[in-house]
Amino acid sequence: MQGTANEAAVLRVHSARAALLALAVLFALIAPGKARAEFTVCNQTLDVVNLAVAQEVDRAFQTDGWWTIGANQCVNVIRDELANRYIYVYATDVFGNAILSGSTDMCVERRRFTIRGIGDCWQRGHIAASFYEVDTLAQARWTFFLTGRSP
């Protein structure tokens, strides 16, 4: 009889712990969290797109790449608070052909990269690319839609 009472007590303790854990998980899911500012790019084309972004960081332009975005998919490319009104994007198809008409020359690489500065791309061993300027209107969050033709 003693063994059965101990087993029942252990079962009650485990059940209580499981209930508390479930409650904690539920609270974490429904509790209001800190709003995240971000720059999201949605690919509304029928093709896979490779994307690079640029923004001013510590008083110098910085380009970052690459994100691969499938057809009808969205990707958060800047997860930090947007500190700049203007974000620059460069997008190519799978063959490396630009799909946006940009007018701001900055640097990219063939593989994943982070490059500080936008001048003298070729002299520094980078590739020059014309980025498209996106005016976020100084909003905290912005979504840019790639539609297959220059906006």
- Identify the band that residue 81 occupies on the pLDDT scale cut at 50, 70 and 90: confident
Is a pLDDT exceeding 60 seen at residue 105? yes
- Identify the band that residue 23 occupies on the pLDDT scale cut at 50, 70 and 90: very low
Q: The pTM is what? A: 0.74
pLDDT tens-digit series, residues 28-78 = 444 444 445 599 999 999 999 999 999 999 999 999 999 999 999 999 999
SS (H, E, C) 43-110: ECCCCCEEEEEEEEECCEEEEEEEEEECCCEEEEEECCCCCCCEEEEEEECCCCCECCCCCEEEEECC
Q: What is each CA distance from 132 to 3, 24, 102, 113, 135, in whole angstroms?
A: 74, 45, 4, 18, 10
Is a pLDDT exceeding 80 seen at residue 15? no
Is a pLDDT exceeding 60 seen at residue 84? yes
